[in-house]
Amino acid sequence: MEILEATDPHFVRCILPNRAKRPGAIESETVLEQLRCNGVLEGIRITRKGFPNRVAYAEFLQRYYLLVPNLPRTSADPRQSVETLMQQLQVDREKYQFGLSKIFFRSGAVCCWLRSPPSPRLTASEFELN
């Protein structure tokens, strides 16, 4: 449950574990067939090849604006501000891509500080930056 609660699901798929509807019994072929038919396996394959991690521009800006001096926390054009932030941080352009409303990151390219909300307390090194 911790893993499920830590994710940001976009949809829910119900998978029947067996045809006999017995609790605790899992038929591998039945589950795999449902995953194929629902397009889940294809979605996973495509996601792994592309940019599976995504964050809305406004949310990204609100979280990480402090990393670039004089960058406002909010903006009328958050995409432009996020572009500025990424350029200033000199992040390799191959590791991310801009969409219409979100910034997309390649698999494995998202740093740990992007996966969890920033701590409300500043460490000594972060305080010196300000």
pLDDT of residue 104: 87
53 forms bridges with which residues in the sheet?
Answer: 105
DSSP for residue 41: H
Mean pLDDT of 84-104: 89
Burial class (CB in 10 A: 0-12, 13-18, 19+), 100: exposed
Q: What confidence category does residue 115 fall into, taking pLDDT thresholds of 50, 70 and 90?
A: very low
Among candidates 95, 94, 69, which has minimal Cα distance to 84? Answer: 69
d(CA 129, CA 71) in angstroms, rounded, equals 14
pLDDT of residue 37: 85
What domains are defined for the chain? 2-49 (no CATH), 53-129 (3.30.70.1590)
Helix, strand, coil % over all residues of the chain, rounded to 5: 45, 10, 45
C-alpha to C-alpha distances, 113 to 46, 95, 110, nearest whole angstrom: 25, 15, 8
pLDDT of residue 11: 67
Give pLDDT tens digits for 53-80.
888 999 999 999 998 899 999 999 999 9
d(CA 63, CA 43) in angstroms, rounded, equals 28
pLDDT of residue 72: 92
Give pLDDT tens digits for 26-56.
999 998 888 888 777 777 776 777 777 888 9
- Hey, what are 92's tokens? 């390799």
Q: Are 53 and 107 in contact (CB under 8 A)?
A: yes
Q: What confidence category does residue 110 fall into, taking pLDDT thresholds of 50, 70 and 90?
A: low
